[in-house]
Amino acid sequence: MAEAMEPREDRMDECVVLFCCVEKLDEKNPSHVVAHAKANIIDRLSKLKVNRVLIYPYAHLTSTLGSPECALSILQNLEDELRSSRIEVKRAPFGWYKEFEIRGKGHPLADLSMTICPYEGWECDFRCPHCKNPIKEADLESSSTSDTRTPPEQGIDL
């Protein structure tokens, strides 16, 4: 799914680039993911003393992608939430092949990684033996008709 936009060239200097992907697990609680991503991003921006962000959809960060519709919605909501906090935001188009050039500063905080968990702050029943993500047993039962189940030969120890 490619977002409908007119092709154009753009740039953003002196900013933080957020290479983002939305995983299947994020579909369980998209608003929680957006809220916690916003809080984490604002915290890191204040440490860097930067007020400019480029949201860059980058599906290659995971092997458990969420649906394109949910991913686009989460990224658009994150864009809106950051803007509402007076952060200058640009977002690269979703689902497009994009060319980019990037230069990073030689700074200890220049390369950071973060994972936003939809279960953050909750007690989970166990972790997926394949991807190590936290899981609540009730979510497995509610998704029993989906293709995200663990094959019987792998099993899950509770």
Q: How far apart are CA 80 and CA 89, in angstroms?
A: 9
- What does the pLDDT look like over 60-114, one tens digit per residue? 888 888 899 999 999 999 999 999 999 999 998 887 677 777 777 777 766 777 7
* Domains of the chain by residue range: 16-121, 123-158
Across the chain, mean pLDDT equals 76
Looking at residue 151, what is its pLDDT? 39
Looking at residue 138, what is its pLDDT? 65
- What does the pLDDT look like over 4-28, one tens digit per residue? 667 677 788 888 889 999 988 888 8
Could you tell me which CATH class the domain 16-121 is placed in? Answer: alpha beta
